[in-house]
């Protein structure tokens, strides 16, 4: 049996625009542009017969796919696809010093030290562990066409796991607001069809962010 899976990042929030770190500890709502991005995605893909909508527990993902939820589609929330926890950086505007700390950690991940983390934050290893649980759940679900809404770093990690690639490749996967990764699942493998697709924004006359 083939499954068609659509995974998108949430729409823009004011914190995205202002460069404030969100992570999983900051539960922000979409801003006006984010709501328009979400509407553009809905208008572009509303003809798809989605059978289930899966989101993180954070409201920016709920709001992004709210129009699909309002159709009466089955909706479930999963903490396993929450954004990575950025620890002490969450809720703070990014500074050069914070960016330096961030790069030091991501450089460690690129070297294969996936247990490295910022102060009070989650490691790539911990993130991958919970995302792996979600992938197993995805494999076992009975629906054929599924819509998933998650977050930037979580999606970078998720895409590596779905493609059975090392986590060193996380930064190869881009994640614009409402960027779509579309894939099929068949014969126990996930096959990517599009990556970070933003055609819905282009059709709506919105500048991709």
| Residue numbers of the domain that contains 61 | 3-203
**pTM to 2 decimals?**
0.96
Which tokens go with 184? 């099929």
Number of separate domains in the chain: 1
Q: Which residues of 81-110 are buried (b: 16+ CB within 10 A; e: fewer)?
A: bbbbbbeebbeeeeeeebeebbeebbebbe
| CATH label of the domain that carries residue 162 | 3.40.50.1240
- Residue 125 within any structural domain of the chain: yes
- Residue 122 within any structural domain of the chain: yes
- Residue 209 within any structural domain of the chain: no
- Residue 43 within any structural domain of the chain: yes
Local confidence pLDDT in tens for the 209 residues of the chain? 899 999 999 999 999 999 999 999 999 999 999 999 999 999 999 999 999 999 999 999 999 999 999 999 999 999 999 999 999 899 899 899 989 999 999 999 999 999 999 999 999 999 999 999 999 999 999 999 999 999 999 999 999 999 999 999 999 999 999 999 999 999 999 999 999 999 999 999 997 65
- Residue 208 within any structural domain of the chain: no
């Amino acid at each position: 049996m083939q499954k068609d899976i659509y995974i998108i990042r949430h729409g823009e929030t004011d914190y995205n625009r202002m460069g404030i770190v969100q992570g999983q500890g900051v539960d922000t709502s979409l801003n006006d542009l984010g709501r328009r991005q979400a509407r553009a995605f809905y208008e572009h893909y509303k003809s798809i017969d989605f059978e289930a909508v899966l989101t993180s527990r954070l409201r920016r993902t709920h709001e992004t796919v709210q129009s699909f939820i309002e159709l009466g589609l089955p909706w479930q929330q999963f903490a396993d696809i929450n954004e990575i926890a950025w620890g002490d950086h969450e809720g703070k505007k990014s500074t050069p010093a914070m960016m330096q700390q961030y790069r030091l950690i991501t450089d460690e991940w690129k070297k294969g030290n996936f247990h490295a983390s910022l102060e009070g934050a989650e490691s790539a290893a911990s993130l991958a562990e919970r995302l792996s649980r979600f992938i197993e759940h995805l494999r076992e679900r009975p629906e054929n066409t599924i819509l998933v809404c998650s977050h930037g770093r979580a999606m970078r990690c998720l895409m590596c796991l779905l493609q059975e690639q090392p986590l060193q490749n996380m930064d190869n996967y881009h994640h614009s607001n409402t960027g779509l990764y579309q894939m099929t699942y068949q014969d126990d493998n996930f096959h990517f069809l599009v990556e970070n697709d933003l055609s819905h924004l282009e059709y709506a006359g919105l500048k991709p962010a």
